[in-house]
């Protein structure tokens, strides 16, 4: 990792952020959201929309993390589905089958799309929770059937190690898939573009290309911290209360999810906005994990990132201060 990657110090820190898509990037600023996708003919498909400001409970510490997380899942899934449609290589419309066909037959187009996006987001969350949180708990329970005298603190440690191993294995396998590898290249382009802006440089391909691809305020780091916080809570909650039943531990993991997400958001918000030695040390593991989820982009991908970011930057200078 380059020295600049490790320090991650920039004169300005922006609240603008994004998500890599299929042949594209979504960027969101304080007031606007833009989706830019490279079409098969090389042209750019650009979609823009206003972003509603958060208010009430959505602005309170810890609770705001839940609103941000749920909103990111829904908008991210919608952008991903849009990018899949735009980036198709002219194969034409596929015939709907299964639940997609049933929804389209019983609801209007806009409502049907909202239902599909919501279902996809729910399935995505359920898959992540099942794979990274519930599965390690179940596997540790099976180990407990063999090792009947296993101390509770050891059980929590083994459970935590399994979470990390499963998460890293999943990211590694995803990075080896051709289409996902390209998505991870766009992920790198997103980070580089934001770094270029935060360093006060003109948004050109040449300037963006020189920037690091690892960024402290990244979704990969967020997911890693979610796992780390869940491990910590498992040790401090399950061990003193002597909770051994596997199903009960799984149920409590689900109940603690809102707390885990809220704590993780505030943690990332703090370490992402500070450049001291403690903050750099705390975000180090999450930054390292980005070696699996970001790769060097080509110039065409950087162009997409630049176009997306330009469309969400606020007119008032400093309005996007972190």
What pLDDT, on a 0 to 100 scale, did the predictor assign at position 111?
64
Spatial neighbors of 30 by CB under 8 A, at least 6 apart, are: 15, 16, 51, 53, 314, 319, 320
Cα 71 to Cα 54, 77, 129, 298: the distances in Å are 11, 10, 17, 30
Contacts of 297 (CB under 8 A, 6+ apart): 185, 186, 188, 189, 192, 213, 305
Distance of alpha carbon 147 from alpha carbon 132, whole angstroms: 23
For the stretch 98-129, pLDDT in tens is 555 555 555 555 565 666 667 777 888 888 88
- Segments in the chain forming alpha helices (H): 3-7, 63-86, 98-106, 109-129, 135-146, 152-175, 178-198, 205-209, 219-233, 239-241, 246-272, 277-293, 299-310
Q: What is the arithmetic mean of pLDDT over 219-244?
A: 86
Per the model's pLDDT, the better-predicted residue between 89 and 93 turns out to be: 89
Angle at which helices 299-310 and 178-198 pack, to 10 degrees?
50
Q: Report the pLDDT value the prediction gives residue 117, as an integer from 0 to 100.
A: 67
The torsion angles phi and psi of 156, rounded to 5 degrees, stand at -65, -40
Tokens of 122: 């729910």
How high does pLDDT run on average in the chain? 86
Helix (H) or strand (E) holding 10: none
> Residue 6: pLDDT above 50?
no
Q: What is the pLDDT of residue 148?
A: 87
Angle at 124 between CA 122 and CA 128, to 5 degrees: 115
220 vs 35: which has the higher pLDDT: 35
Q: pLDDT-derived band of residue 238, with 50, 70 and 90 as boundaries?
A: confident
User: Length of the chain, please?
Assistant: 322
**Global pTM?**
0.86
Higher pLDDT, 271 or 18: 18
- For residue 119, which of 93, 101, 104, 99 has the smallest C-alpha distance? 99
Count of Cβ atoms closer than 10 Å to residue 267 Cβ? 20
């Amino acid at each position: 990792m380059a020295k600049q990657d490790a320090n991650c110090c920039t004169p300005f820190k922006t609240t603008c952020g994004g998500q890599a898509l299929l042949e594209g990037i979504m960027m969101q600023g304080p007031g606007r959201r833009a989706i830019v996708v490279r079409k098969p003919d090389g042209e750019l498909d650009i979609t823009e929309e206003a972003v509603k400001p958060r208010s009430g409970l959505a602005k309170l510490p810890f609770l705001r993390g839940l609103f941000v997380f749920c909103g990111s899942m829904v908008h991210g899934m919608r952008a991903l589905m849009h990018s899949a449609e735009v980036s198709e290589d002219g194969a034409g419309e596929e015939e709907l089958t299964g639940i997609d066909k049933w929804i389209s037959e019983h609801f209007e187009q806009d409502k049907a799309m909202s239902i599909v996006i919501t279902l996809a987001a729910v399935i995505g969350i359920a898959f992540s929770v099942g794979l990274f949180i519930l599965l390690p708990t179940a596997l540790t329970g099976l180990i407990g059937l063999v090792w009947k005298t296993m101390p509770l603190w050891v059980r929590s440690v083994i459970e935590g190690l399994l979470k990390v191993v499963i998460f890293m294995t999943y990211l590694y396998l995803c990075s080896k898939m051709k289409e996902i590898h390209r998505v991870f290249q766009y992920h790198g382009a997103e980070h580089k573009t934001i770094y270029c802006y935060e360093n006060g440089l003109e948004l050109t391909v040449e300037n963006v290309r020189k920037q690091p691809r690892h960024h402290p305020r990244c979704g990969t780091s967020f997911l890693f911290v979610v796992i780390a916080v869940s491990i910590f809570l498992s040790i401090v909650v399950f061990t003193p209360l002597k909770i051994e039943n596997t199903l009960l531990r799984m149920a409590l993991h689900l109940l603690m999810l809102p707390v885990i997400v809220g704590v993780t958001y505030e943690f990332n918000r703090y370490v992402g906005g500070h450049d001291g030695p403690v903050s750099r040390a705390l975000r180090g593991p999450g930054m390292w994990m980005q070696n699996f989820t970001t790769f060097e982009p080509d110039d065409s991908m950087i162009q997409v990132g630049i176009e997306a970011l330009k469309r969400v930057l606020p007119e008032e200078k400093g309005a996007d201060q972190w």
